[in-house]
């Protein structure tokens, strides 16, 4: 693992802890955007540029606008609740399950990983069959077509939601006529 990847992981963990401890919801929304940018940088370093782009567009841009729109309709600070043991336990159990689940995965970048022996050759062969020169385009447009369509629908729906949220309705005051 490179030093930059390790640094980004540490920054992600520190940002997540800071978000959880904040009581100011505006600051929490802004730090959530920072978290998304850090995650997009990490995805880029791991050669998942399409995922990084989606994280930057949806995870940072759209989500931040929706958070800020929601904050304009709510209070500025979070009300404190008593008894944080149960949520902490759920987070620790979920984190433990995720760590346990990833313990059987092949080492990142291992050329002998199953994906490189079985799936990747089929994608490369598919590029020749479909006469598309770019393997990434073959994967996204052909093999993962429904998934890509779903991502496009999510981004479009988020964009429509933002336009509706920011557009709002114009209130007609006294003495004004409706257009």
- Residue 14, domain CATH: 1.20.120.1200
Is the residue at 90 inside a domain?
no
Average pLDDT rounded to a whole number, residues 16-20 = 92
For residue 39, what are its two tokens? 């995650």
Using CA atoms of 135, 138, 139, 144 in order, give the dihedral in degrees to the nearest 10. Answer: 170
Average pLDDT rounded to a whole number, residues 91-111 = 89
Same domain, 118 and 75: no
Query: Range of 148's domain?
Result: 109-169
Is the residue at 145 inside a domain?
yes
Q: Closest by alpha carbon to 27, among 88, 78, 82? A: 78
Is the residue at 39 inside a domain?
yes
Same domain, 1 and 44: yes
3-state secondary structure 121-159: HHHHHHHHHHCCCCHHHHHHHHHCHHHHHHHHHHHHHHH
Is the residue at 86 inside a domain?
no
Is the residue at 179 inside a domain?
no
Structural domains of the chain, count: 2
Average pLDDT rounded to a whole number, residues 1-29 = 90
For residue 92, what are its two tokens? 């620790």
Same domain, 56 and 7: yes
Q: Is the pTM of this model over 0.85?
A: no
Band the pLDDT of 115: cuts 50, 70, 90. confident
Residue 165's H or E segment, with its range, is helix 145-167
| Winning range, highest mean pLDDT, from 36-45, 117-126, 149-158 | 36-45
Beta-bridge partners for 24: 77
What is the C-alpha separation between 157 and 151, in angstroms, rounded?
Answer: 10
């Amino acid at each position: 693992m490179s030093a930059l990847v390790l640094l980004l992981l540490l920054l992600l963990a520190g940002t997540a802890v800071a978000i959880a401890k904040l009581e100011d919801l505006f600051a929490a929304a802004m730090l959530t955007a920072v978290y998304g940018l850090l995650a997009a940088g990490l995805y880029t370093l791991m050669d998942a540029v399409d995922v990084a782009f989606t994280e930057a567009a949806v995870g940072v841009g759209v989500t931040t606008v929706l958070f800020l729109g929601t904050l304009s309709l709510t209070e500025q600070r979070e009300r404190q609740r008593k008894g944080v043991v149960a949520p902490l336990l759920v987070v620790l159990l979920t984190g433990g399950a995720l760590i346990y689940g990833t313990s059987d995965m092949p080492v990142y970048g291992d050329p002998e990983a199953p994906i490189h022996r079985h799936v990747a050759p089929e994608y490369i062969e598919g590029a020749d069959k479909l006469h598309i020169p770019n393997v990434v385009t073959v994967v996204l447009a052909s093999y993962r077509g429904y998934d890509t369509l779903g991502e496009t629908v999510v981004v479009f729906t988020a964009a429509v939601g933002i336009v509706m949220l920011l557009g709002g309705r114009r209130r007609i005051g006294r003495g004004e006529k409706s257009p």
